């Protein structure tokens, strides 16, 4: 259970990513059905901390704030230097290592992954960062597996996120994991963002080829409303009035993934909601979301969530009722 959250900033901190940490964990949302946390902003040397934007912020707490935190947020900072591993204060690295060793969650936002690399926490683990820095992170953490195509990665209570707004996805994933889907949705509603986005950051990488952004939005909305129906590339292409080849290319351009993978993710997400909020059987939920049967749904839950539908229901029903 998350109670205390400490967000760590250093000179060159990125204001937007700092805002993400505060928006998700620093606002009491209990009045609208959301959670509230004890949120502390801290830094290795308390006082004025210059931001990447050129203006300073006042941070009064030191790194001792991380000692009892259930979540330590490693906020993005300016890494545009010639060094493969930008300098990070040794005390900061020690604080992050100690927090992880005692079982706290470590949530790094964008370039915050370089702090985890310097601390040695990424060795042997999957991780991500902004697509512009992926090769550099791989060089900084050669024993890590850097995935440049995803919005975030969770590995052994370490969550690394892709660039900028992907920090929202990662933070909401952590809330969902610890407190359940309704808590994540309550925060997302207040932030006016989706509780889960589809695809990866590949859809945001600069591409010299033009694409008609959002041209499939109506089709995607229809697919979400008709998850129980069987869908193929051929039937979807006909509905979009495109050739199958053009449809498949445009779908990947606009969502960052394939129609089959997108549908599977939507079906899993809808199944999560039904398992959390209804007493429908696993077989019934599988039918309602388009998996056909419990066996197929168990496969997708294991692949995407690392758990079974029944285990998911037990965990998050208990969390929501606590």
Residues 47 and 185 occupy one common structural domain: yes
Residues 183 and 217 occupy one common structural domain: no
pLDDT digits (tens, 9 = 90+) for 112-150: 999 999 999 999 999 999 989 999 999 999 999 999 888
Residues 155 and 10 occupy one common structural domain: yes
pLDDT digits (tens, 9 = 90+) for 31-85: 988 999 999 999 999 999 999 999 999 999 999 999 999 999 999 999 876 665 6
> Residue 31 sits in a domain of what CATH number?
3.40.50.880
pLDDT band at 203 (very low <50, low <70, confident <90, very high): very low
Residues 217 and 126 occupy one common structural domain: no
Question: Which of 143, 161, 191 is at the close of a domain?
Answer: 191
Range of the domain at 78: 4-191
pLDDT band at 252 (very low <50, low <70, confident <90, very high): confident
> Residue 305 sits in a domain of what CATH number?
1.10.10.60
- The verdict on residue 16 lying in a domain is yes
Residues 181 and 254 occupy one common structural domain: no
pLDDT digits (tens, 9 = 90+) for 174-185: 999 999 888 998
- The verdict on residue 265 lying in a domain is yes
pLDDT given for residue 85 in this prediction: 63
Number of domains in the chain: 2
Residues 157 and 234 occupy one common structural domain: no
Write out the two tokens for 92: 């900061």
pLDDT, the chain, mean: 89
Question: Which of 125, 157, 191 is at the close of a domain?
Answer: 191
Residues 225 and 321 occupy one common structural domain: yes
- The verdict on residue 197 lying in a domain is no
- The verdict on residue 201 lying in a domain is no
Residue-wise over 9-40: b if at least 16 C-beta within 10 A, else e?
bbbbbbbebbebbebbbbbebeeeebbebebb
The percent helix, strand, coil of the chain (3-state, each to 5) is 50, 15, 40
Residues 236 and 291 occupy one common structural domain: yes
Cα(198)–Cα(206) distance, rounded to whole angstroms?
18
Residues 121 and 259 occupy one common structural domain: no
Long-range contacts of 282-291 (CB under 8 A, 24+ apart): 282/309, 282/310, 285/309, 287/228, 288/227, 288/228, 289/227, 289/228, 290/227, 290/228, 290/229, 290/230, 290/231, 290/263, 291/267
Residues 34 and 172 occupy one common structural domain: yes
Residues 234 and 293 occupy one common structural domain: yes
- The verdict on residue 200 lying in a domain is no
Question: Which of 143, 160, 191 is at the close of a domain?
Answer: 191
């Amino acid at each position: 259970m998350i109670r205390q959250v400490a967000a760590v900033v250093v000179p060159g901190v990125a204001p937007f990513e700092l805002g993400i940490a505060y928006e998700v964990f620093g606002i009491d949302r209990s009045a609208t059905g959301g959670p509230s946390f004890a949120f502390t902003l801290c830094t290795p040397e308390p006082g004025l901390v210059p931001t990447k934007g050129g203006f300073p912020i006042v941070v009064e707490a030191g790194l001792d704030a991380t000692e009892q935190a259930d979540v330590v947020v490693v906020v993005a900072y300016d890494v545009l230097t010639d060094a493969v591993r930008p300098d990070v204060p040794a005390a900061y690295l020690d604080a992050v290592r100690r927090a992880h060793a005692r079982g706290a969650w470590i949530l790094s936002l964008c370039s915050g992954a370089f702090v985890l690399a310097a601390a040695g926490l990424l060795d042997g683990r999957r991780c991500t960062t902004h697509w512009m820095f992926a090769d550099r992170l791989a060089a900084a953490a050669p024993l890590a597996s850097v995935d440049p195509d995803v919005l975030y990665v969770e590995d052994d209570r370490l969550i690394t996120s892709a660039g900028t707004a992907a920090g929202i996805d990662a933070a909401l994933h952590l809330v969902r994991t610890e407190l359940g889907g309704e808590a994540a949705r309550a925060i997302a509603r207040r932030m006016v963002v989706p509780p889960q986005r589809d695809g990866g950051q590949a859809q945001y990488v600069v591409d010299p080829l033009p694409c008609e952004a959002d041209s499939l939005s109506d089709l995607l909305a229809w697919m979400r409303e008709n998850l129980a129906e069987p869908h193929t590339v051929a039937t979807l292409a006909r509905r979009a009035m495109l050739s199958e080849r053009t449809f498949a290319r445009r779908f990947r351009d606009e969502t960052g993934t394939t129609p089959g993978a997108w549908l599977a993710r939507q079906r899993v997400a809808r199944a999560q909601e039904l398992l959390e909020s209804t007493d429908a059987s696993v077989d019934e939920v599988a039918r309602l979301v388009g998996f056909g049967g419990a066996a197929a749904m168990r496969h997708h839950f294991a692949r995407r969530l690392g758990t079974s539908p029944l285990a998911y229901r037990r965990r998050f029903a208990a969390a929501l009722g606590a």
